[in-house]
Chain A
Amino acid sequence: MNSRIRVVIAKPGLDGHDRGAKVIARALRDAGMEVIYTGLRQTPEQIVTAALQEDADVIGLSILSGAHMHICPRIVELLREQHLDDVRVVVGGIIPDADVPKLNALGITGVFQPGTPMQEIVEFIRVQVRGDAVAKVE
């Protein structure tokens, strides 16, 4: 319970617009989490490998290019193959309303659209990770 929440922040795909990824990485770090930022242009395989090596509780994806419906399913699939089903995946970026339920159905627990306050994301991750951890202890 006392160990810090570990988050891998990743930029999949070819897009280089990293303002959001870097701002949220810093906000999570300032909120006391251990943040690993993968840098740009990561394949789903690289992201899942990073999550495994870093013993991540959460993967945070920043996708602005519209490729989320191609990238997210692949990451979820790879996590299952690696038996990392307990790693939460959240995604932020330009995600149309219509895609939010589809991403939720895939098991992406948090989808953050433009204008979401950092604090809301911090709280969401805390509840997801700590909330579940409490449930397991019980």
Chain B
Amino acid sequence: MGLIVAAGSRRCNQQDYNDRMAAMDAVYTRESLDGLDVAHTSPPPGQFPYTRGLRPDGYHGKLWTMRQFAGFGTPEDTNRRYRALLAAGGTGLSVAFDLPTLMGRDPDHPLALGEVGRCGVSVVSLADMEALFEGIDLATVSTSMTINSPAPMLLAMYLAVAERQGVPWTALRGTIQNDILKEFIAQKEFIYPPGPSMRLVTDIVAFCTDAVPKWNTISISGYHIREAGATAAQELAFTLRDGIEYVQHAVDAGLQVDRFAPRLSFFFNAHNDLLEEVAKYRAARRIWAHVMRERFGARDPRSWQLRFHAQTAGVSLTAQQPWNNVVRTAVQALAAVLGGAQSLHTNALDEALALPTEPAALLALRTQQILAHETGVADVVDPLGGSYCIERLTADLEREAHRHFDAIDAMGGMVAAIEAGYPQREIAETAYRDQQAVEAGARTIVGVNAFADPGHEPVNTLYIDAASEQAQRAGLDRLRRERDGARVEATLAALKSAAIGRENTMPPLLDAVRAYATVGEMCDALREVWGEYEEVPII
């Protein structure tokens, strides 16, 4: 703030701003494609390797799912927001859990102080999950749950709610994020060491492949990697290499690749650089198709097809002049649509300040509806395909991803690379360079380091009071008094013995959930077996 820089020529500034893997050319021509066989690498949509999209008819058959990530306060608070989003034309739900839930801590744990219901909804036991989906038919809605270390516990709760609603598991549609590798790399919401963490991921994959066949078992996420500071190329490379790691672990556990791979999905950032982002999504589809067919020998085309959710870039939002965020979000969402996203979340204008208010969240949804129904961009499949610029960028990003794959393979895989700090160091480096570029004025942020407006106009923000925390603690006390304590103890003991052995942890978790064991209790049971992971920070 206070640093006001006149906007100079972006082309010149780009010279010393090394965020992108390669500076853009001022113009792209036929010669830009020298050495590329575009007819072969980018055939019509619906054809391997799906660079131009998975379906020949793009969004004509089905628009993307407008899935707004939401959660705050108590389950009752969030249930009201979900009903409002569905009533307003939202087509899927996406659960944001609070930090204690994400970290497997009950609301009365000392580290939960001040955090209950603040960054998401607090879900402590099956009773809370029932309240969260009260009046929402799980047979018709598709639900995404952003949860990683405690993913098996929360998935078990969702399955138990379906049982109580009389909805068969085979009818359930949705996604559990269940992507622990990007937690070690970027978002840092890990509990257990990498080995047992990967086993929990694989347990979900194995369990759902048989029992919940329409469920997306991992949402392999670049979003958080990008938010932590990665470039588009790093986001692409680390995310797909994480995907390779999960497939390898599942294959090593004895699963047949074509049985589980069709239910893997991806989650990418939609950032400011529109052309580079479109190229990133196209490169992702192409790389994954080849990896699955050639590296893993998958034969089912559905195993080759990379489906992805996109979210606009939270890190691009500014607290200064927050209305500008509506424009940023619209352009980022356009990139995701031009790139063929299956599902999209648009951020609200006030999210650099707080969780969104309901009017702000609605405006974000309306942004998607305007893109879908007014602009015509959904009418043409991969409309930028064949552009000299886009095809060149797609090929460059693909090459850069393979360079990272080679480095990570040489280290012995992604778990080994994480233990050696490789992706963390790469990301920390670009994050620092990016901040330096902003301060030197080499990267312009409107309203922050250029076109600043000292007396910024405040917007109303959502205020989460301490009542949610008190309510959740009181609910927990009541639960502990009313449930069958002996049954809880027995199911937790069974969970521990499954963890010590090699049996899938999902069935004993379902028993514990049905007995109303809490997220904290179930996670603690596994902490006793596996211990907790402590990272060596890399700056």
Contact = CB atoms under 8 A, between A and B. Distances in A.
Interface stretch (B106-114, B150-158, B204-212, B502-510): B106-114
Given A67-B118, A70-B113, A115-B318, A96 B432 contact: no
B356 to A, nearest CB: 13
Nearest to A112: B1
A16 B187 CA distance: 6
A82 B431 CA distance: 36
B431 A23 contact: yes
Contact of B111 (A27, A43, A113, A120): A43
Contacts of A18: 188, 228, 537
B257 interface: no
Nearest to B102: A14
A70 B464 CA distance: 13
* Most central of B99, B112, B228 by chain A CB within 10 Å: B99
Contacts of A14: 99-100, 102-103, 105, 111-112, 115
A13 interface: yes
Size band of the B side of the interface? 35 or more
B521 interface: no
B315 to A, nearest CB: 8
B277 interface: no
Contacts of B539: 22, 25-26, 29, 37
B134 interface: no
Nearest to B449: A117
B451 to A, nearest CB: 13
B461 interface: yes
Contacts of A25: 539
B532 to A, nearest CB: 10
Contact of A115 (B1, B114, B227, B431): B1
Interface in A23-76: 23, 25-27, 29, 37, 39-41, 43, 65-67, 69-71
B320 interface: yes
B114 A96 contact: no
Contacts of B294: none
A41 B439 contact: no
A29 B428 CA distance: 14
B383 interface: no
Residue picked from B110, B111, B438, most chain A C-beta under 10 Å: B111
A90 B127 CA distance: 40
Nearest to A24: B435
B467 to A, nearest CB: 14
A23 B435 contact: yes
A28 B1 CA distance: 18
Contacts of B428: 22, 26
A115 B535 contact: no
A23 B432 contact: yes
Contact of A117 (B1, B354, B432): B1
A130 interface: no
Contacts of B100: 14
B352 A67 contact: no
B531 interface: no
Interface string B217-235: 0000000000111000000
Given A14-B115, A22-B539, A96-B354, A119 B432 contact: no
Residue with the greatest number of chain B CB neighbours at <10 A, chosen from A14, A39, A40: A14
Contact of A94 (B3, B318, B353): B353
B231 to A, nearest CB: 14
Contact of A16 (B110, B189, B439, B448): B189
Contacts of A113: 319
Contacts of B435: 23, 27, 118
Instruction: In the A-B complex, list the 8 residue pairs whose CB atoms are closest, starting with the nearest.
Output: A16-B188, A70-B114, A67-B114, A14-B99, A114-B319, A66-B118, A115-B448, A14-B103
23 contacts: A13-B115, A15-B115, A17-B187, A18-B188, A19-B227, A19-B431, A22-B431, A22-B539, A23-B229, A37-B537, A37-B539, A65-B114, A65-B115, A66-B118, A67-B113, A67-B114, A71-B114, A96-B353, A96-B354, A115-B319, A117-B3, A117-B449, A120-B2
Interface of A: 13-19, 22-23, 25-27, 29, 37, 39-41, 43, 65-67, 69-71, 94, 96-97, 113-120
Given A71-B114, A114-B353, A118-B439, 18 more contacts: A14-B105, A14-B112, A15-B115, A16-B188, A17-B227, A17-B228, A19-B229, A22-B428, A22-B431, A23-B229, A23-B431, A37-B537, A66-B115, A114-B318, A115-B319, A115-B448, A117-B449, A120-B2
